Amino acid sequence: MTTLLRPVLMSSSDGSALGGIADWAVNLMETIGAPGAGLAIALENLFPPLPSEVILPLAGFTASRGNFSLFEAIFWTTLGSVVGALALYGLGAALGRRRMRAIVAKVPLIDVEDIDKVEAWFNRHGYSAVFFGRMIPLFRSLISIPAGIERMPLTVFLVLTTAGSLIWNSIFVLAGFYLGENWHIVEEYASVFQRIVIIAVVLVAVYFVVTKVRKYRRSPKAK
């Protein structure tokens, strides 16, 4: 695999973080084949700064070079997604609802009513959140934790996580497979979507903080 992938990887990377992550992913796939792509995606679930938008199309590109099949690339990356999600689900289940409420209640500007609203929202939309959350940057990893805290039925969680991950992974793996040596173009377009999500999260956070500060200033405690 070294003779096939290294020259292409070096020509498509610029020595940046993208090139470093791609090189790391290639090392895994060189060492253990398609399961290496699955391991990289499992770690991406646990450490969101590792971008699946790089690892997945690179796995597709590797499959296009004949190092392993397209089916293997999709199968192992989806399995990796499920394993990573299960680890975070277990973390949420171990944390538990009571302990989570006690911790969050100590965070400044957050009231018990806010926790109740989040729980009520998840109870109403938890299935959709787990399924579609697998296709949204940042939320793709984090959504498994509240699912564990609320003890979503494990079978349901596995089905929704597998389905959502299969769709997301297939899109990026297929893109890398058919783009070939231009696999890195996928990350450029995906990063735009990620920036939009980050900006939206920041705006919501700012709105929440401003609203809470105004509410506190109007409360009797502030007078």
User: What pLDDT, on the 0 to 100 scale, is given for residue 157?
Assistant: 94
Lowest mean pLDDT segment, chosen from 37-41, 127-131, 176-180, 214-218: 214-218
For residue range 146-203, what is the model confidence (pLDDT) as tens digits?
899 888 999 999 999 999 999 999 999 998 888 876 766 766 666 665 666 667 767 7
Q: Which of 1-10, 84-93, 101-110, 183-192 shows the highest mean pLDDT?
A: 84-93
- Cα(88)–Cα(109) distance, integer angstroms: 26
Alpha helices in 47-184 (DSSP H): 52-64, 70-95, 97-104, 112-133, 139-142, 144-149, 154-179
User: What pLDDT, on the 0 to 100 scale, is given for residue 138?
Assistant: 73
| 91, amino acid identity | L
Is 210 a residue whose pLDDT tops 70?
no
Mean predicted confidence (pLDDT) in 41-68: 81
For residue range 7-34, what is the model confidence (pLDDT) as tens digits?
455 444 554 445 566 777 777 887 888 8
- Cα(37)–Cα(132) distance, integer angstroms: 22
User: What pLDDT, on the 0 to 100 scale, is given for residue 67?
Assistant: 80
- Cα(68)–Cα(76) distance, integer angstroms: 11
Contact 175, 186 (CB under 8 A): yes
Pairwise pLDDT comparison (1 vs 177), residue with the higher score: 177
**Which of 32, 37, 33 minimizes the C-alpha distance to 50?**
37
74: pLDDT confidence band, cut at 50, 70 and 90? Answer: very high
Q: How many domains does the chain have?
A: 1
216: pLDDT confidence band, cut at 50, 70 and 90? Answer: low
Is 223 a residue whose pLDDT tops 70?
no
Mean predicted confidence (pLDDT) in 63-76: 89
Token duo for residue 161: 């996580």
User: What pLDDT, on the 0 to 100 scale, is given for residue 23?
Assistant: 75
Domain that holds residue 196: 2-222
Is 209 a residue whose pLDDT tops 90?
no
User: Is 186 in a helix, a strand, or coil?
Assistant: helix
- Cα(35)–Cα(32) distance, integer angstroms: 6
Mean predicted confidence (pLDDT) in 57-66: 85
**Which of 181, 176, 191 minimizes the C-alpha distance to 58?**
176
- Cα(195)–Cα(51) distance, integer angstroms: 13
- Cα(90)–Cα(182) distance, integer angstroms: 38
